[in-house]
Structure 1
Amino acid sequence: MSQKLVQPIGQKRLTNVAVVRLKKRGIRFEIACYKNKVLSWRSSVEKDLDEVLQSHIVYSNVSKGVLAKSKDLVAAFGTDDQSKICLEILDKGELQVAGKERESQLSNQFRDIATIVMEKTFNVETQRPYTISMIERLMHEIHFAVDPNSSSKKQALEVIHELQKHFPIKRSPMRLRICVPEKDFSSLLEKLNVWNASIVSKDDSGSQPSVICEMDPGLYRDCSEFVSSLKGRFELLAHSVHLEEVSRVDHCDDYAEGPSRLPKESADSESQLSEKLQKQATVSGGNENAKGEGKQIKCSTCNTFFGDSNEFRNHSKSDWHRHNVKRKTRQLPALTEEECSADMEMGDARADLKEYSF
């Protein structure tokens, strides 16, 4: 009995690849890419297409090595140029990843969403922002599930809307500077009153008086349209006022006069560090700090003690403190003043290199 010999004609098998899939006109098309390169390409980190694609060939099934038919390519993409089709699939297609990789991506996106929620909200009862761990806990309580096909910012706004139904959480107000013609200034003040906006300051002098106010971010579009109708102009000074205030002046209960005034969430960690920090402050400050040790003020962000409120206030306005606040929001450890200067210089160098690179 004769046996038919099957030749793998028209097949090119590839293994250990990242597959990007795009379905168009009811037909599935796939391309084979190197792992960890697709996201680099989409974020414009990788510029060389050959470093992303394993081959400039379009498949109907990469794992089986089945090539796409030319007539299907023309019907779906209007051309049979496989290099152009590969670019379209690479930009618009869905990246197929393994279970552990998908879990890692969802975990990272969950963290990104929680960070956005933390930056845009505050606790109504305490008038202070929630911590990142508290936001993640609340997101688990409402059984939030990450949608990998939706942006983190869009999902964060949906999470805020859902959290407001169950917890004392509110969007942090944005701060605006609005300038309108003098004849329309009273109309602007009336509109701000309707929007329940709080006026920080106002300047009635000049042909175009201005007002600095804080209002709900959901009114941004309405405010833009209203100011445009009055032929005025407005400037966004801060996306999240509460976060900006925390960046400029640290928590009021950072005084080291009593552990009972520390936040409940950080009381344990602060009590563990207090002895070490006091020893460091005593060694660095000498006898002068030893006299006023009981009245020292501590910056929990920079892990540093200060002798009086003036020193602490000046420190809160320094680049050192602001840089550590930014690191704290990203869950990074605090740096010393020397390390902070070096880190900022390195960041400036990277920015210059990125600006002048082609």
Structure 2
Amino acid sequence: MRFCISEKDLDEVLQSQIVYSNVAKGVLAKSKDLKAAFGMDDQTKICLEILEKGELQVAGKERESQLSNQFRDIATIVMQKTINPETQRPYTISMIERLMHEIHFAVDPHSNSKKQALDVIRELQKHFPIKRSPMRLRLTLPQDKFDSLAEKLSEWKAVILSKDESGSQFSVVCEIDPGIFRDCDALVRNLQGRSEILAISVHGEGDFHADDVSSSQETSTSTEVVQQLTEKMQKPTFVSEPTSDLKHCTTCDAVVGDAKQYREHFKSDWHKHNLKRKTRQLPPLSAEECAADEELTDSKKDLSEYSF
């Protein structure tokens, strides 16, 4: 596997810019060995050369671990972007993973997790009661233009939460399907107004529970499948007692598991996000908070993902 470098900051690519002769044992490469192999001992330049010309060697177990972590990342994105239309609440991450297995989803390690998550949502909507969670917006425009906007909001089945009049300006807070955002934003701009994203994904309070499914009408195959999955989740599971071998990550301020899980944690987006916060002297976030923080940042940079 060849590397293609688009990131200019090495700190965003590597955990360390130190070259090892045996990383497992922590043995640093000697200067004479570096000169013999690369013709120089400048470790930063050597790291760049390795990234540009080297090949990534991944063991079977490590590849399996990477796919498992990416599967979890995709499921997390799906959970954040969707709700159960009957309860207006998000499904649990365990339920989302079970549904992904039901549609025989396979991770593509060469594709972006967010893109795959959107593909998963489209496929899940064909089989299960699931829909995109709405966006919450504040739309501000001249008062004499509001009638034109109100007509479109009604057509889009937007939920209007509040209205506010201030001088010649009229402001409305509403919730719309994310797929409509680009059209809505374009319309507001044409009406000489502006749109502001208040929330990327709006969920009802609380998470999905088994009762939410069992109380629904059993008239569709998709609902029955969800009920079956829920019953499986209710079966007792045996969890071993925690031991003193559990590792604590000081960067994330969390217990992350045994030695193997501890090593895998350092490769996770959660840990990398908190590393960035640590350099800015900000407190660590939980895994869910990190995912939400990254989602908000990404959405401000590129809103094209909402047009499906």
Equivalent AA in structure 2 for residue 161 of structure 1: R
The alignment partner of 1:95 has SS state of coil
Contact 2:70–2:113 (8 Å) recurs in 1: yes
Residue 286 of structure 2 corresponds to: none
Residue 246 of structure 1 corresponds to: 206
The alignment partner of 2:131 has SS state of strand
Residue 103 of structure 1 corresponds to: 64
How far did residue 138 of structure 1 move?
1.1
- Counting only pairs closer than 5 Å after superposition, residues 78-227 of structure 1 correspond to structure 2 as 87=48, 90=51, 95-227=56-188
How far did residue 83 of structure 1 move?
7.2
- CA gap 1:92/1:227 in 2 versus in 1, 3 angstroms: farther
Equivalent AA in structure 2 for residue 99 of structure 1: G
Contact 1:117–1:157 (8 Å) recurs in 2: yes
Residue deviations 1:82-101 (CA, integer Å, cap 9, x gap): 97585266279763301111
The alignment partner of 1:96 has SS state of coil
Distance (whole Å) between structure 2 residues aligned to residue 150 and residue 212 of structure 1: 35
Residue 74 of structure 1 corresponds to: none
- Counting only pairs closer than 5 Å after superposition, residues 272-283 of structure 1 correspond to structure 2 as none
Distance (whole Å) between structure 2 residues aligned to residue 173 and residue 93 of structure 1: 44
How far did residue 225 of structure 1 move?
1.9
Residue deviations 1:210-249 (CA, integer Å, cap 9, x gap): 0000011112222222222222122111111116x338xx
Select which of 263, 275, 280 maps to 1:355.
280
Structure 1 stretches lacking a partner, 5+ long: 1-19, 24-40, 57-66, 69-80, 254-262, 270-330, 333-348
RCO comparison, higher one (Cα < 8 Å, 6+)? 2
Relative to the length of structure 2, the TM-score reads: 0.57
Distance (whole Å) between structure 1 residues aligned to residue 178 and residue 123 of structure 2: 17
Contact 2:17–2:43 (8 Å) recurs in 1: no
Select which of 21, 25, 31 maps to 2:2.
21
Residue deviations 1:123-168 (CA, integer Å, cap 9, x gap): 1233322111111111111111101111111110000011111111
How far did residue 352 of structure 1 move?
7.4
Select which of 186, 190, 197 maps to 1:236.
197
Distance (whole Å) between structure 2 residues aligned to residue 134 and residue 21 of structure 1: 36
How far did residue 108 of structure 1 move?
0.7
Residue deviations 1:4-46 (CA, integer Å, cap 9, x gap): xxxxxxxxxxxxxxxx6359xxxxxxxxxxxxxxxxx674562
Distance (whole Å) between structure 2 residues aligned to residue 229 and residue 119 of structure 1: 31
Percent identity between matched residues is: 63
Contact 1:21–1:96 (8 Å) recurs in 2: no
- CA gap 1:350/1:93 in 2 versus in 1, 3 angstroms: closer
Distance (whole Å) between structure 1 residues aligned to residue 105 and residue 138 of structure 2: 36
How far did residue 268 of structure 1 move?
6.8
Aligned-residue CA RMSD (Å): 4.2
Distance (whole Å) between structure 1 residues aligned to residue 61 and residue 92 of structure 2: 28
Residue 15 of structure 2 corresponds to: 46
Contact 1:21–1:89 (8 Å) recurs in 2: no
Residue 289 of structure 1 corresponds to: none
How far did residue 172 of structure 1 move?
0.5
Distance (whole Å) between structure 1 residues aligned to residue 206 and residue 89 of structure 2: 8
The alignment partner of 2:114 has SS state of helix
Relative to the length of structure 1, the TM-score reads: 0.50
Structure 2 stretches lacking a partner, 5+ long: 5-9, 32-36, 212-226, 237-255, 258-273, 283-308
Contact 2:142–2:193 (8 Å) recurs in 1: yes
The alignment partner of 2:83 has SS state of strand
* Structure with bigger gyration radius: 1
The alignment partner of 1:235 has SS state of strand
Contact 2:159–2:175 (8 Å) recurs in 1: yes
Contact 2:143–2:170 (8 Å) recurs in 1: yes
Distance (whole Å) between structure 2 residues aligned to residue 118 and residue 135 of structure 1: 7
The alignment partner of 1:209 has SS state of strand
Residue deviations 1:158-206 (CA, integer Å, cap 9, x gap): 0001111111110000111110112211111112122221111111342
The alignment partner of 1:204 has SS state of strand
How far did residue 267 of structure 1 move?
6.3
